[in-house]
Amino acid sequence: MSENARLKFYCDEHRCISCDGCSVACAEAHELPAGINRRKVITMNEGILGLEYSLSIACMHCTDAPCEQVCPTDCFYIREDGIVLHDKEKCIGCAYCLYACPFGAPQFPSDGAFGIKGVMDKCTMCAGGPEETNSHKEREMYGQNRISEGKVPVCAAMCSTKALLVGDSAEISDIYRERVLSVGHGVKTQPYGWSTAYGSKI
């Protein structure tokens, strides 16, 4: 990872098989209460030939994050690596961020403002929150902090088709370019399934 890395997600719609491995891994890892979907897999045009596709969506950790701009208590902060986090002790659960967010990422527990995961909850890119890193309190309020341990976020680590990528945006785009360029160059240069994933007839 370069020093100026901006961490980003990318979900490849040609690969995602809507297995929900990512969303279930996320919920299990962070012990999310039922109904809190930090990550969700959406299938469009189910069963319609040629039009069906699935995508896994979570907080996209926007560079110019609208959620941060509209928050009346200013609870959001953006880390140097681009991860957008928020302070649950400042958050009042007003849901303005949900209005502003283009992806429906902010989640609100149904068991009131004082549920174990607190007020608003969203994908932390597995980077915890403002509490002391890897403390019990951080874990209880924000879930695991895998980034501090040098681990890949659990959703992307779980993705068996490698549709879901996460990391330095420059590296992610390199991987995607390489995949696109590999199309049509024969099975020997591609792991099994690439020709299917990228639509070539070889």
Residue 111 class from Cβ within 10 Å (0-12 exposed, 13-18 middle, 19+ buried)? exposed
| Diameter over CA atoms, the chain | 56
Q: Which residues contact 59 (CB under 8 A, 6 or more apart)?
A: 38, 84, 101, 103, 105, 106, 122, 123, 125
197 makes contact, choosing from other proteins, ligand SF4, none, with CB < 5 to 8 Å by partner type, with none
Is 100 in contact with 66 (CB distance < 8 Å)? yes
**Window contacting other proteins (CB under 8 A); options: 6-14, 19-27, 69-77, 91-99:** 19-27
Q: Which is nearer to ligand SF4, 65 or 119 (CB)?
A: 65
**Window contacting other proteins (CB under 8 A); options: 18-26, 76-84, 125-133, 149-157:** 18-26
Is 82 in contact with 88 (CB distance < 8 Å)? no
**Residue 191 sits in the site that holds other proteins (CB under 8 A):** yes
**Residue 39 sits in the site that holds ligand SF4 (CB under 6 A):** yes
For ligand SF4, the binding residue among 73, 161, 169, 200 (CB under 6 A) is 161
**Window contacting other proteins (CB under 8 A); options: 42-50, 67-75, 110-118, 119-127:** 42-50
Is 126 in contact with 151 (CB distance < 8 Å)? yes
For other proteins, the binding residue among 5, 14, 19, 77 (CB under 8 A) is 19
- Tell me the backbone φ, ψ of residue 128, rounded to 5 degrees: 65, -145
Q: Which is nearer to other proteins, 44 or 170 (CB)?
A: 44
In whole angstroms, what is the distance from residue 193 CA to residue 186 CA? 11
For other proteins, the binding residue among 46, 74, 111, 149 (CB under 8 A) is 46
Contact residues toward other proteins (CB under 8 A) are 17-21, 23-24, 27-28, 32, 34-35, 45-48, 52, 188-191
